[in-house]
Chain A
């Protein structure tokens, strides 16, 4: 559990969970109204599904962009919200939600950040991206020691025999990075082809040719050891079963979406979606809003442009909560001096 009691909470106007397109655009709409935001995302960069699942794929239904890639859309949004200087908590998962004694919503992340705000915006799409597990019996029992899905501390791999499984950039990058510190690195992939930066693949092949690492074409078959202690990884190759002695298996099989801790936030869910009204996009809990793919209402379309609209209306309601008694003036970015100042163009 995160160290809730020890951390001093940071105060802001709105806490946005999810740095996908809708969460990013919420920063903009809140910012126009003079509201500050913190943004939490379990990924280590912005964009959510757009950059994680289809960075290169073209999107054709963003207004005024006949075609734009997921990565470029994200880059443009980051540029658009830069004037509002949001605080990003990348690589952190919103772990808990509670009400503070003073009536603020308090969110703690798994990295120990504690943030308080009168408004929470859940823009979590399909949920948290979590590593896909290798389809092996008893894999959970080895997690945390023998089996890892990320490198948090390089020291945990020093002097160890490591099997790295996967064919993408993560697998290749860590093969190269851990080779100098590990006793031995063996890369396992089901084919002699990779979906990774060509220079990483070339470097890996050099290391194989030099005898510095091993590359095995095959499929993970079984874990051997006294869980959570790993002694070896059995791999099925064209020539039959091969046993690779190893204390660590690092599996990079991509990510999948799981609802995660927000399911335990005490909000109403209906088939993994959060019902909201269509005026404020507020959930059953006052001050907690849900926008983008994670919400549901009659006529809902899971489109990025729907989430943008929802962010705009949500922000109007958020203003009333964050600035009670203040009058909200409707202004256009084309002409308002105040908006120009907030956008840092005046």
Chain B
């Protein structure tokens, strides 16, 4: 169980990004963090994984606990060794290395591991990567690179995978494929997943529980199926307003719906 408790994050000591974020991730679950640009979703993931500390950020209040032990003041290496691996946004492959070299580095922190078996496991999830194993990863297509970075994280056998915007810039069909794999990973390897998304529809469909963030706070949370029917979520994140009803221009709203959670 991962517990994020009232976490506050500052960059460079003055810029307040997170203003008290709390949520928890039970073992083996998929949690979604939703929100628009600048809401603090990525920062939340970086606070958990410790990558914050590589870029002048710092958890200044609150705690992050994994299995009853605090990880909020640990470096990313130690957090990763405890089984929490972040897949960063923007398909960060090691460009000049081949696909297989990328994957091998993903399992670098495991001392006793059968690299060949782990590679086969990843190739089983992503058959495409097997055919590309000797290709230079910088030249792969966007979808292939997204598969590669996820496969690379799987090489470390994470207990919790932090997925940052896996659908960014991908074709809808590919988005479905990626999310099917996330669901399978969760079901078969019992990996918990925290997924950060702007594509709310995809994230709500796959997750059990969701948190909506805005301005560095969690403003709304609930079971994903319930949130998908919330009027505010529909209006602001799914772009629907009373879908299915006959529209009349007489009823076109001249005002913007106000969010009910503020």
Binding between chains A and B: no
